[in-house]
Chain A
Amino acid sequence: MAEALLTVKNLSVDFHTARGTVHAVKDVSWSVGRGETLAILGESGSGKSVSANAVMNLLDTPPARIVSGEILYDGKDLLRVSYEEHRALNGKKIAMIFQDPLGHLNPVYTVGWQIVEMMTAHGRPAAMARARALELIARVGIADPEAAMRKYPHQFSGGQRQRLMIAMALMLKPDILIADEPTTALDVTIQAEVLALLKELQAETGMGLVLITHDLGVVAEIADRVVVMNQGEIVETGSVRDVYHHPQHAYTKKLIGAAPGKGEIKLLEAAPLLLETKALKKSYGGFTALKGASLTLLRGQSLAVVGESGSGKSTLARTLLRLEDADGGEALWKGRDLLRMGARELLGVRREIQMVFQDPTQSLNPRMSVYQLIAEGWDIHRLMPDRAQRRARVAELLDQVGLAPEHAERYPHQFSGGQRQRIAIARALALEPELIICDEAVSALDVSIQAQVIALLDSLRRRLGIAFLFIAHDLGVVRDFADTVIVMQAGEIVERGPTAQIFDAPQHPYTQRLLAANLDPDPDVQASRRASIAAPHA
């Protein structure tokens, strides 16, 4: 291990909230050397960002309070230097990039102006700053840097914006780059490109890279050493390979075990036809979101629709649910066309098709109790007028999704993200549907909870014979859950087939690219993949 460039020693930070003091990080120590990549791995609420924010002096005090510890850089304790001294280091010696580049670029200034400002703010001449900006924009792989300088943030795609953020961070040749979930908001193929770029740049400049992430695949791809955090504490630290193959702590074992994409692949069983769409079309103004999608879904089948953002997979779900009106085509639900149904007939179908949304925080009405949420479907469809019977059934449903019956009187905000998604699933089950459409239903959840929810959905599918239309961008999850996969790109279905066939012998180049870009949590698998496939650069 190289000599430490930045060292965090015994750092403890408390947050004072209305509900009492929260120990956000407890006695955390890590260090990063020149040319080294350290990953801080943890799930939401593990405190993985807190120590990095302390390095950058980004913690708001109060509510945060640094209880103890020191952060050493270049012989100085960053927790004790003056605000001015810290400011001189920030950006210049230690730079940071964030998950959401759009949120961190000012929408009213051109990108060029903002990148140049990074340097002029630290007292460099404007001409020099401009030359350096042009050089870096070209370096991070953006075509025509001169024109790019004059554009505004919204004119770039998410991946390009993250590249620009990286260019901005590198303007002053920092010693250390801290990247907080830099690729979480990006599609898999873009993620692979951005990670490759970070790696190249690190090799060129020899900077230390601190990568904060929840994704084991990202860690396997890029990091040398990893620090695993859980509930504010470091539970394990070591080289990526050691930690993956010989995890010591129970939490690390659980985390690695929960990583999707390792289970047995399911096979499609013969069953009667439930839903068939023919040449489904939908466009918004001049943009065609869906260019004639045809698919079939059998009773009890789990069909996954895979694609990157903008591929039309959500539009497909929304048209099937009649949240949007399709422009053409047919969707036959048990032989009747969903798209041309009258209000009465549609109400009946609404009972048979339920949906689970991506973000349970938003899809559950915050002013309704769990009982009201689950029972609402019965109100709508005038089922089960008897209150006692309803109570019993709600309790039964809560039990079915792994919650306790006494949770019925609580409100959504009193639950964690995974529990909320369980409530949403219980609500969908209340009407005894034949099809549940899941739109990225697990992508907002932490890996360990993701695994639990997937297991739950799978057991429901087997026990109750419910069919699933499962929309996802995470291939690991799809591999674990689906028996048939449809790959979509730019509004078209480019490949379809049984899960095993798609994963083992993908035919279409786009599918192959998707699979190649998907990061395996095993660092050795990831390394051999890197060697065999030259990642295509867009």
Chain B
Amino acid sequence: MTDTSLAKSPAPAPRAAPPLLAMLWRDKLAFASAVILLLIVVAALLGPALLGEMANDQNLRGRNFAPFSFARGWQFFLGGDSLGRPMLARLIVAAHSTILIAAGTVAAAALVGAAAGLVAGYMGKTTSQVIMRLADVIMSFPSLLLAVVVLYVLGPSIPNMILVLAITRIPIYLRTTRAEVLEVRERMFVQAAVVMGASHRRIIFRHILPVVAPTLLTIATLDFAFVMLAESSLSFLGIGVQPPDITWGLMVAQGRPYLTTAWWLAFWPGLLIVITALALNLLSGWMRIALDPNQRWRLEARSTAPSGAKPASPTHG
């Protein structure tokens, strides 16, 4: 029989998938991003407990103290704010609420949006229509106005902010997921699963979701920065995070009047938002490749990554 001839014909040399950490190390930019994000998470978890008091300690002689000097101790290295509180300590403490709100919002919106999108894409026309029209209602209502109304009624608090922001972001995930599901469910391998007798649950979670997930991941990382800024505008209006609680977005908003005289009030928190968003983006790009068996070889083959990219100084976190 001719069977054996094919068995010998070579598929590309066997490569066991290397552990994730090794693949992360191959992509130096993604590795640096992971380190930065880890530092930010650590700061968010431990910051309030360790530096909470210092961050709210007013010192009028240190008002708008210029950065890059150790004259008032390490905590004033990045300068002092308009009430003489140390910027560095405040930045670390602010990571807590910032990350909590942004991560909570993105996770909630992505979860609800993706679930609704999967249902809308997979189920029949009527269900889909109802879900899509609901999304249209949310989208047609100015998101900030909605947030103002709801927060005014419910009262400003972090859970309420997460709720409001998440609702306004749901349609993005929903529409993307639905569009992708509509395409993926017509693919042959989904039909093959139907023929084998796979349940709806299995088809959705085993065959459709893994194909849709990378797109959602990319949107989620882009959304992270957006949510941080949206939260700052709510805080700016006084219905968001309430002082003495602080977030990076609020710090940017509060520092805006001083931009000409004390640039560092708005610059450092702004820089942190940018770094966080960038790191998330790089990491999600890596993850998309690492999780796709078709693309994974890029991370396996590249033994020496371009070393031009220096990780941003972790002291910012």
| Cross-chain contact of A407 among B2, B5, B11 (Cβ < 8 A) | B11
Known: A350-B195, A354-B195. A362 touches B188 (CB 8 A): yes
| Cross-chain contact of A409 among B16, B202, B206, B207 (Cβ < 8 A) | B16
Q: In the complex the two chains form, is B210's CB within 8 Å of A367's CB?
A: yes
A-B Cβ contacts below 8 A, count = 100
Q: How far is the CA of A474 from the CA of B202 in the complex (A)?
A: 36
* A residues near B193, Cβ cutoff 8 Å: 365, 376
Known: A350-B195, A411-B294. A455 touches B187 (CB 8 A): no
A364 at the B interface (CB under 8 A) = yes
Kindly name the residue among A347, A354, A363, A419 whose own CB sees the greatest number of chain B CB atoms within 10 A.
Answer: A363
B211 at the A interface (CB under 8 A) = yes
| Cross-chain contact of B3 among A363, A409, A452 (Cβ < 8 A) | A452
Q: In the complex the two chains form, is A376's CB within 8 Å of B198's CB?
A: yes
B-contact bits for A384-412, CB 8 A (1 contact / 0 none) = 00000000000000000111101101110
Q: How far is the CA of A406 from the CA of B15 in the complex (A)?
A: 11
Query: Which residues of chain A in 338-372 are interfacial with respect to chain B, using CB atoms and an 8 Å cutoff?
Result: 346-347, 350-351, 353-355, 357, 359, 362-367, 369
Q: Which residue of B lies closest to A402 (CB)?
A: B3
Q: In the complex the two chains form, is A416's CB within 8 Å of B187's CB?
A: no
Q: In the complex the two chains form, is A402's CB within 8 Å of B11's CB?
A: no
A532 at the B interface (CB under 8 A) = no
Q: In the complex the two chains form, is A413's CB within 8 Å of B188's CB?
A: no
Q: In the complex the two chains form, is B196's CB within 8 Å of A380's CB?
A: yes
* A residues near B211, Cβ cutoff 8 Å: 367
Query: Which residues of chain A in 452-470 are interfacial with respect to chain B, using CB atoms and an 8 Å cutoff?
Result: 452, 455-456, 459
CB distance from B214 to the nearest CB of A (A): 10
A431 at the B interface (CB under 8 A) = yes
Query: Which residues of chain B in 26-70 are interfacial with respect to chain A, using CB atoms and an 8 Å cutoff?
Result: none
Q: In the complex the two chains form, is A321's CB within 8 Å of B2's CB?
A: no
| Cross-chain contact of A416 among B2, B9, B195, B298 (Cβ < 8 A) | B9
A418 at the B interface (CB under 8 A) = yes
| Cross-chain contact of B12 among A323, A369, A401, A414 (Cβ < 8 A) | A414
* A residues near B189, Cβ cutoff 8 Å: 362-366
A381 at the B interface (CB under 8 A) = yes
B-contact bits for A223-244, CB 8 A (1 contact / 0 none) = 0000000000000000000000
A163 at the B interface (CB under 8 A) = no
A217 at the B interface (CB under 8 A) = no
Known: A380-B199, A452-B2. A363 touches B192 (CB 8 A): yes
* B residues near A431, Cβ cutoff 8 Å: 196
CB distance from B11 to the nearest CB of A (A): 5
* A residues near B298, Cβ cutoff 8 Å: 18
* B residues near A351, Cβ cutoff 8 Å: 197
Q: How far is the CA of A359 from the CA of B206 in the complex (A)?
A: 21
A506 at the B interface (CB under 8 A) = no
B303 at the A interface (CB under 8 A) = no
| Cross-chain contact of B198 among A19, A380, A418 (Cβ < 8 A) | A380
Q: In the complex the two chains form, is B16's CB within 8 Å of A350's CB?
A: no
B309 at the A interface (CB under 8 A) = no
* A residues near B210, Cβ cutoff 8 Å: 367
| Cross-chain contact of B14 among A350, A367, A406 (Cβ < 8 A) | A406
B-contact bits for A426-445, CB 8 A (1 contact / 0 none) = 01000100000000000000
Q: In the complex the two chains form, is A422's CB within 8 Å of B191's CB?
A: no
Q: In the complex the two chains form, is A354's CB within 8 Å of B196's CB?
A: yes
* B residues near A18, Cβ cutoff 8 Å: 298, 301
Q: How far is the CA of A401 from the CA of B4 in the complex (A)?
A: 9
Q: How far is the CA of A424 from the CA of B293 in the complex (A)?
A: 18
Query: Which residues of chain B in 173-217 are interfacial with respect to chain A, using CB atoms and an 8 Å cutoff?
Result: 187-189, 191-199, 202, 206-207, 210-211
* B residues near A19, Cβ cutoff 8 Å: 297, 301
Q: In the complex the two chains form, is B6's CB within 8 Å of A366's CB?
A: no
* A residues near B202, Cβ cutoff 8 Å: 379-380
Q: In the complex the two chains form, is B293's CB within 8 Å of A419's CB?
A: no
B292 at the A interface (CB under 8 A) = yes
CB distance from B201 to the nearest CB of A (A): 11
Known: A323-B195, A346-B197, A355-B195. A451 touches B188 (CB 8 A): no
Q: How far is the CA of A53 from the CA of B65 in the complex (A)?
A: 70
Known: A359-B188, A366-B293. A419 touches B11 (CB 8 A): yes
Known: A355-B192, A363-B192, A411-B293. A419 touches B6 (CB 8 A): yes
| Cross-chain contact of B191 among A346, A357, A366, A427 (Cβ < 8 A) | A357
Q: In the complex the two chains form, is A321's CB within 8 Å of B3's CB?
A: no
* A residues near B4, Cβ cutoff 8 Å: 402
B1 at the A interface (CB under 8 A) = yes
| Cross-chain contact of A413 among B7, B197, B294 (Cβ < 8 A) | B294
* B residues near A364, Cβ cutoff 8 Å: 189, 192
Q: In the complex the two chains form, is A413's CB within 8 Å of B3's CB?
A: no
Kindly name the residue among B1, B189, B202, B301 whose own CB sees the greatest number of chain A CB atoms within 10 A.
Answer: B189
A415 at the B interface (CB under 8 A) = yes
Q: In the complex the two chains form, is B196's CB within 8 Å of A409's CB?
A: no
Q: Which residue of A lies closest to B2 (CB)?
A: A452
| Cross-chain contact of A350 among B196, B206, B293 (Cβ < 8 A) | B196
Q: In the complex the two chains form, is B3's CB within 8 Å of A357's CB?
A: no
Q: How far is the CA of A410 from the CA of B192 in the complex (A)?
A: 19
CB distance from B306 to the nearest CB of A (A): 15
Q: How far is the CA of A181 from the CA of B155 in the complex (A)?
A: 70
Kindly name the residue among A346, A351, A431, A452 whose own CB sees the greatest number of chain B CB atoms within 10 A.
Answer: A452
CB distance from B2 to the nearest CB of A (A): 5
* A residues near B14, Cβ cutoff 8 Å: 406, 409-410
Q: In the complex the two chains form, is A363's CB within 8 Å of B188's CB?
A: yes
CB distance from B289 to the nearest CB of A (A): 13
Q: How far is the CA of A351 from the CA of B202 in the complex (A)?
A: 16
A-contact bits for B66-78, CB 8 A (1 contact / 0 none) = 0000000000000
Q: How far is the CA of A347 from the CA of B196 in the complex (A)?
A: 8
A145 at the B interface (CB under 8 A) = no
CB distance from A229 to the nearest CB of B (A): 18
Q: How far is the CA of A419 from the CA of B198 in the complex (A)?
A: 24
CB distance from A294 to the nearest CB of B (A): 23
* B residues near A363, Cβ cutoff 8 Å: 188-189, 191-192
Query: Which residues of chain A in 303-338 are interfacial with respect to chain B, using CB atoms and an 8 Å cutoff?
Result: 321, 323
* B residues near A158, Cβ cutoff 8 Å: none
* B residues near A380, Cβ cutoff 8 Å: 196-199, 202
* B residues near A403, Cβ cutoff 8 Å: 6-7
* A residues near B192, Cβ cutoff 8 Å: 355, 357, 363-364, 424, 427
Q: In the complex the two chains form, is A419's CB within 8 Å of B197's CB?
A: no
Q: Which residue of A lies closest to B12 (CB)?
A: A414
Q: How far is the CA of A367 from the CA of B301 in the complex (A)?
A: 19
Other contacts beyond A367-B211, A369-B293: 9, CB < 8 A: A346-B197, A359-B188, A380-B197, A409-B14, A409-B16, A410-B11, A418-B6, A451-B2, A456-B1
7 sampled A-B residue pairs with Cβ under 8 A:
A367-B210, A367-B293, A402-B6, A402-B7, A411-B293, A452-B5, A456-B3
Closest 6 CB pairs of A and B: A350-B197, A402-B3, A362-B188, A411-B293, A363-B188, A365-B189
Residues of A whose CB lies within 8 Å of any CB of B are 18-19, 321, 323, 346-347, 350-351, 353-355, 357, 359, 362-367, 369, 376-377, 379-381, 401-404, 406-407, 409-411, 413-416, 418-419, 422, 424, 427, 431, 449, 451-452, 455-456, 459
